[in-house]
Structure 1
Amino acid sequence: MTPGAIAVLSLSMSADAFAAAVGRGAAHRPAVVQAMRAGLVFGVIEAITPLIGWSLGLIAAGLIEKIDHWVAFALLAAVGARMIWEGLKPAETAEDAAPRRAGAWALVATAIGTSIDAAAVGVGLAFIGVNIWIIAASIGFTTFVLTTIGMLIGKAVGARFGKTAELLGGVALIGIGALILAEHMGWIGG
């Protein structure tokens, strides 16, 4: 996977965490330290979930080796379609977008909820033989940065901007899946 594809993947995987952070920041103007703490929680969880998915994918990889590129495409397309669906839904008000509880458990639960798609992507990545450690670190770091920024600017830009990020992230994931499929089918040079 090229550095550019890893960057796009990292931004795509971070989009839903960014959207959640914008909503949270819109309701509670956090201090920089609070925003960084939230970014760290989101980043660590977002880095762990593709590793879990990748591990599960390795177990299944030998069983479906002949169609692995189709599986990777299907998983990325499904996650991307869900992100597009969420991005097209009407924007929530700041009160609706913010978690009801602002405690540590609510933060962790939100981070896990926004990182489930990264586990599915990790499964798909196991089928194409990538360096998962670099990708997971990139996803985690990107999520940390975007979540921190999202928390800090959430009140100023509102939840609508987060929806746009999620929509663009979904389109990018479908594009990456299509590129993987096209390369493995020999439709384009890879």
Structure 2
Amino acid sequence: MSLTELILLAIGLSMDASAVSISNSLCIKKIKIKHILQMAVMFAVFQGIMPLIGYYAANSFENVIERFDHWIAFILLVIIGGKMIHESITADEEQDCSLFSLTFKLLLVQAVATSIDALAVGVSLSALNVDILYSITIIGIVTFICCTAAILLANRFGNLLGKRAGIVGGLILVGIGVKIFVQHMFFGG
């Protein structure tokens, strides 16, 4: 696999994590470097670790991963997105997304949900007999860059949305979950 192909693969894998980063950022009034690092590092680490796990577990778990990855991602993202929408609708006008809290637990669930596809990619990388450490390093770096860019863009435009930011963010998460589910169920992706 060439570097160009690997970067394109990494960009594709990072899109869900970037969208979730946007969603999170829309609910944080003042983004700090701490928020950027928390999100970008967590997503980058999981986007890198999951292919490694998939790579080494390729022979044992390939069928299980492919059968359930879309269900897990769908359920987690719909629950998180639905919760964000509900909290935004029921919040007072002055609170906007104040009920949103960027916790380690939330980021962990989001990172797992958005990186399950990367687990399956690891299985594919095993079949291609690539240098897995090099590959996951590129995937992690690209994910970090994409998430950071997404957060900065969301921060720039998110304040314009006010209370609707949480609704938009929640809809993004639900949309990602539905996309993953439909893609796997109907298009073999």
Calculate the TM-score normalised by the size of structure 1. 0.62
User: What are the ranges of 5 or more consecutive residues in structure 2 without an aligned counterpart?
Assistant: 89-96, 159-164, 181-189
2-structure distance, mates of 1:59, 1:131:
20
Summarize the Cα distance change of 1:22–1:60 in structure 2 as closer, same or farther, 3 Å threshold: closer
Structure 2 residue 48 is matched with structure 1 residue 37? no
Pairing of 1:101-116 with structure 2 (within 5 A)? 101-116=101-116
Kept in 1, the 8 Å contact 2:27–2:100? The answer is: no
Contact kept? 1:58, 1:126, Cα under 8 Å: no
Contact 1:54 1:126 in 2 (8 A): yes
1:10 aligns with 2:10: yes
Letter in 2 for 1:52: I
**Which residue number corresponds to residue 139 of structure 2?**
139
1:87-106 aligned at under 5 Å gives the runs 95-96=84-85, 100-106=100-106
Alignment: residue pair count: 150
Give a deviation string over 1:127-166, Cα, whole Å, max 9, x none.
1111111111111111111112222222416758x79xx7
Contact 2:52–2:122 under 8 Å retained in 1: yes
After TM superposition, the structure 1 = structure 2 runs for residues 47-86 of structure 1, keeping only pairs within 5 Å, are 47-57=48-58
CA distance in 1, matches of 2:61, 2:27: 43
Q: Cα 1:27–1:57, aligned 2, differ >3 Å: closer, same or farther?
A: same
Cα distance, 1:109 vs structure 2: 1.3
Q: Deviations over 1:78-129 (max 9, x none)?
A: 98xx99xx9xxxxx79x43989542111111111111111001101111111
Deviation at 1:11, TM superposition (A): 0.1
Quick one: which amino acid aligns to residue 47 of structure 1? G
Instruction: Supply the distance in 2 between the matched residues of 1:117 and 1:24 (Cα, whole angstroms).
Output: 20
Judged with a 3 Å threshold, the aligned counterparts in structure 2 of structure 1 residues 104 and 60 are, in CA distance, closer, same or farther, namely closer
State the distance in 2 between where 1:113 and 1:60 align.
Answer: 18
What amino acid sits opposite 2:136 in the alignment? A
8 A Cα contact 1:50 1:122, kept in partner: yes
Contact kept, 8 Å, 1:10 with 1:138, in 2: the verdict is yes
| % identity of equivalent residues | 24
Conserved 8 A contact 2:11-2:142: yes
> 1:26, 1:138 → 2: CA distance?
27
What is the TM-score of this pair, normalised by structure 2?
Answer: 0.63
Deviations 1:41-96 (A, max 9, x none): 111111111000000115589xxxxxxxxx9xxx6xx98xx99xx9xxxxx79x43
Q: Could you say which residue in structure 2 is the equivalent of 1:127? A: 127
Q: 1:56–1:47: structure 2 CA closer, same or farther, 3 Å change rule?
A: same
Shift in CA distance, 4/103, structure 1 to aligned 2, threshold 3 Å:
same
| Structure 2 counterpart of 1:10, one-letter code | A
d(CA) in 1 for partners of 2:46 and 2:61? 23
